[in-house]
Amino acid sequence: DKKPKFSRFDPRKLTLNTEKKIVEVVCYCFMPNHFHFLLRQIRDNGITEFVGKLSNSYTKYFNVKNKRDGPLLQGEFKAVRIETNEQLIHVSRYIHLNPLVGYMTNNLDSYPWSSYGEYIAHQRNPVCQKDVVLDQFKSSEDYASFVKDQESYAKELDNIKHLLFE
């Protein structure tokens, strides 16, 4: 199944409890077997707490819905500190290109489990604090060009990554 396990997940629920906010979601993408978030931590250990709550609550929901037991996600999450605006925009592009590189869609605009549509379409009820990324560009159209300019390179790199030495 090409749908992410999180396909019924509503990302707007991530930001509803503003009094106890521990992170701000900058961008996200759900894939069939993993997910990506670019988060801004608001309080100490906020990212660890957020990912733990997300993983645990979704695993419980999925297990009850599908009458199963056990873990849903494998391994520990990876967190990398973003140090520069340059890193920030490249990480957001990497996250938004994931469905294309993973052959989940031919059109990023139509992939429903990513914040890319929110970035380019000025959607109402936004989930993401996208200004932190979009402020680096003249317009959301410039950001869309920045992302789409790397589509073929990202696919090419994904096709040869198994040939690279670590």
Q: Is residue 1 part of a domain?
A: no
Tally the domains of the chain.
Answer: 1
Work out the average pLDDT over 16-38: 82
Kindly tell me if the per-residue pLDDT of 125 is higher than 60.
Answer: yes
pLDDT in tens, 36-50: 999 999 999 999 988
Q: Is residue 132 part of a domain?
A: yes
pLDDT for position 73: 75
Average pLDDT in the chain:
82
The proportion of the chain whose per-residue pLDDT surpasses 70, expressed as a percent, equals 78
pLDDT for position 160: 53
Contacts of 125 by beta carbon, 8 Å cutoff, 6+ apart: 12
Answer whether 33's CB lies under 8 Å from 5's CB.
yes
Kindly tell me if the per-residue pLDDT of 34 is higher than 50.
Answer: yes
Q: Is residue 81 part of a domain?
A: yes
- What CATH number does the domain containing 21 carry? 3.30.70.1290
pLDDT for position 118: 92
Integer-rounded Cα radius of gyration of the chain: 16
- Its domain, for residue 57, covers 11-163
pLDDT for position 130: 92
Kindly tell me if the per-residue pLDDT of 7 is higher than 70.
Answer: no
pLDDT for position 39: 95
12 — pLDDT class (breaks 50, 70, 90): low
Work out the average pLDDT over 67-95: 89
Q: Which residues of 118-139 are buried (b: 16+ CB within 10 A; e: fewer)?
A: bbbeeeeebbbbbebbbeeeee
pLDDT for position 16: 44
Kindly tell me if the per-residue pLDDT of 93 is higher than 90.
Answer: yes
Q: Is residue 6 part of a domain?
A: no
Q: Is residue 71 part of a domain?
A: yes
- Torsion sign over Cα 83, 84, 85, 90: negative
